[in-house]
Structure 1
Amino acid sequence: MFPTAVAGDAVVGTVFVTNSGGQPVTWVVVDREGDHRIRYARVATGRDAGTVDVRLSPAGSHTGVTVTYELSALTPEGSEWLRRFAADYPSMMQSWESAIAKSLAAIRRPAPGR
């Protein structure tokens, strides 16, 4: 959700809010390098805060993606959440890869009747 109208969702300074297990998380685009890198600050009030760095790189006929989270717990509950997050990270990245591939396939699929 974007609390205010935005010129683009990857413009430095853009703010948006997501939901993580019932916890609102505020994100801010803090810097960007063209179409190959974007870094976000994120805060889940009372739980954790930090940055997320997303880098794209050529990988043959595909694109490689490296996502780096640097998060700190803000509470004991946040420490437990971070422990679970780290344990589930590989499966989360796999689900993202599948969702992105499905979305891209839908975009590339010609519309019926064309």
Structure 2
Amino acid sequence: MLIETLIALLLLLGAGFTLVGSIGLARLPDLFMRLHGPTKATTLGVGGTLLASVMHFSAAGEGVSLHELLVALFLFITAPISAYLLARTALHLGAPGRAEPPRRPYHDGREE
């Protein structure tokens, strides 16, 4: 019962992170900000789901299931590298992004 509860919590946590990452991918304004959704939150979401899978198949099977750990290792290695390459390519091609930070007004109402 305890393992099933922990598996369910890991699945919910993984699904929550994946949902937040997917919403970030769809809603953020430019390419550079959109890279954070799949590389950060969605990677954690898939990691939680894979950890739940390891626990389920290890508890139900004959031994420790390591296939999912190899998938997680590959994911955690390749996601940051692919995001880096996408960002460098976008910079090289001159993709539009936020060129300057938003202006903040001074205390007396003037802008910087």
Who wins on radius of gyration, i.e. which is larger? 2
TM value normalised by structure 2:
0.31
Higher relative contact order (CA 8 A, sep 6+): 2
TM value normalised by structure 1:
0.30
Q: Which structure shows the higher strand fraction? A: 1
